[in-house]
Structure 1
């Protein structure tokens, strides 16, 4: 979906303006995908971008269900296994909701590995 890719591109530009180094974009493995992954300081930040034109049903951030979180965690484990150079970094999962007004609702530490 072009609108979703555009939202990811806008979030990517914002993260890189803050000095974050992009590690991966649309990292796909069987069973999961990571929208954007960055290194910043001692963190590997996995960013899930959710675009919603309307705030019905809780909006973009609320759309990251437990099932979606599990798929993101699975893909993150694959990424770390494939790139051991990131193994010593703390992993943080952020969710960014993007709406029609181009407003970001950036939630740091939106969920954790249990």
Structure 2
């Protein structure tokens, strides 16, 4: 697929219909994976979910660090940056998915939670940025 994150975005289909938000989200995840790979990050799994647990958009490795990445794609920033949508409930679901991934590892590994923001505008190369260590794993009480 190459460097997908460098392609100009087409928010409308060939008939001129605006693409649905599910398409924006999925396309944002593909762009984020392309963007991360171009920076030396290895994408291990997309859309990781175990049973009814929370989903992790991308599980990656950067050097020795395991990354649990939430991707937020938007076509507008009128209501703030995309990362603003990662509220307490969403963070709880991401942590739950991360716990399931970590459960299957033999050894403890360093890990962190990142957010990749993707802003899509028609006919423009997407604006992609990353917030490293966007939030922490909370201890279970």
Q: TM-score, normalised by structure 1?
A: 0.89
- Across the two proteins, how many residue pairs are aligned to each other? 112
Divergent runs of 4+, >6 A: none
Q: Distance in 2 between matches of 1:53 and 1:91?
A: 30
Q: TM-score, normalised by structure 2?
A: 0.73
Unaligned regions of 5+ residues in structure 2, if any?
1-21
- Corresponding residue for residue 27 of structure 1: 48
Higher strand content, 1 or 2: 1
SS across alignment from 1:113: coil
- Corresponding residue for residue 52 of structure 1: 74
Specify the structure having the higher radius of gyration (Cα).
2
- Corresponding residue for residue 16 of structure 1: 37
Alignment of 1:73-84 (within 5 A): 73-82=95-104, 84=105
Q: Distance in 2 between matches of 1:2 and 1:71?
A: 22
RMSD: 1.4
Higher helix content, 1 or 2: 1
